[in-house]
Amino acid sequence: MTYSIVARDKETGELGVAVQSHYFQVGPVVPWALAGVGAVATQSMVNVSFGPLGLDHLRAGYTAEQTLKALLAGDSLPESRQLAIVDASGNVATHTGSKCIPAAGHHTGDNFSVQANLMEKDTVWDAMAAAYTNTKAPLAERMLAALDAAEAEGGDIRGKQSAAMLVVTGTPTGRSWEDRIIDIRVEDSAEPLVELRRLLKIKRAYQTDEVADRLEEAGDLKEAATKREEGVALAPELEELAFWAGLQIAINGDVDRGTQLIAQAVKKEPRWTETLHRLVAVDRLNADVAKAIESRLTTESWRH
């Protein structure tokens, strides 16, 4: 008893699923995706096996439509199931069984499908489709717009409880743990979509910081520091990102600006200063830089 979206981004090839339900821990049940293969949403009297089995069929070369038919042919209750599949080529196939609890239905479009059951209104899936197609943003944010539109139309008649989003890269590496670029879940919340949006913002901040890691490894310390500050700007409440951004900037030579950012972390958690000592102990930080930072942190101007 859920609303969800499966989609492929035509520009990047990313594949994704996003879902909200009045159900504890919807994340391990409904959304399934594998880079270079496809994405599946299985719901309504959910047959969880449709997720992994659907991906197996797609990986074996079945299209979305062929996979849908194969899964339903082997099921004992197809009339009670709702299932949506998008393959790596953007083909879409969706099924809403005749015994799914109303309001139930789906709307398929170019490289995407939205589907819902046990909704307050039968306008939910069309509203989701409109929101998705009219939102100009990366795939994850467009899928979240579709979920927000469903909730605005009344959503699940029972209310709301959990939500999840899974996005995999459009350029698979063969290492599934790296290809899963967004995997966020809200297990139990009074406002699961609000929390999902907050988690997505945090994920975007950490993704920016990961770009900085790669730049640092490549020796581009100046650009790495710039990227770290971009991450801090996306989620200024995260003292972790502020600390490491400040440290990078201080190491690059701007100790004053670096200490400003580190002070944000220390203000929230004073033990961040001990991290400086431990980094020195394992040769991750020059002792003179650490002393310069600590000297500034102890002055009155840095504490406020």
Q: What is the mean pLDDT for each group of 10 consecutive residues in the chain (304 residues)?
A: 95 98 96 98 97 98 98 97 98 98 98 97 98 98 98 95 98 93 98 98 97 94 93 96 95 94 95 96 96 90 60
- For 188, other C-beta atoms within 10 Å of its C-beta total 11
pLDDT of residue 303: 56
Could you tell me if residue 199 is inside a domain?
Answer: no
Q: What is the pTM of this model?
A: 0.94
Helix (H) or strand (E) holding 207: helix 192-217
| Residue 183 domain flag | yes
18 and 153 housed in the same domain: yes
Which domain CATH number covers 138? Answer: 3.60.20.10
Do both 178 and 237 map to the same domain?
no
pLDDT at 1: 73
Host domain of residue 259: 206-303
> Would you tell me the crossing angle of helices 287-297 and 255-268 to the nearest 10 degrees?
60
Domain edge (last residue) among 152, 187, 222: 187
Per-residue confidence (pLDDT) for residue 304, from 0 to 100: 56
What number of other Cβ atoms are within 10 A of residue 219's Cβ?
8
The number of C-alpha atoms within 13 Å of 161 and in the hemisphere containing its C-beta is 15
| Whether residue 225 is found in the same domain as residue 174 | no
Same domain, 57 and 141: yes
Residue 183 shares a structural domain with residue 211? no
Under 8 Å between Cβ of 229 and 265: no
Do 171 and 210 lie in one domain? The reply is no
Angstrom distances, CA of residue 111 to CA of 8, 16, 38, 123, 154: 5, 11, 11, 21, 25
Answer yes or no: do 183 and 210 share one domain: no
pLDDT tens-digit map of 253-271: 999 999 999 999 999 999 9
Q: Distance between CA atoms of 45 and 96, rounded to whole angstroms?
A: 11
Examine residue 198 and state whether it is found in any structural domain, yes or no.
Answer: no
Domain CATH code at residue 240: 1.25.40
Number of domains in the chain: 2
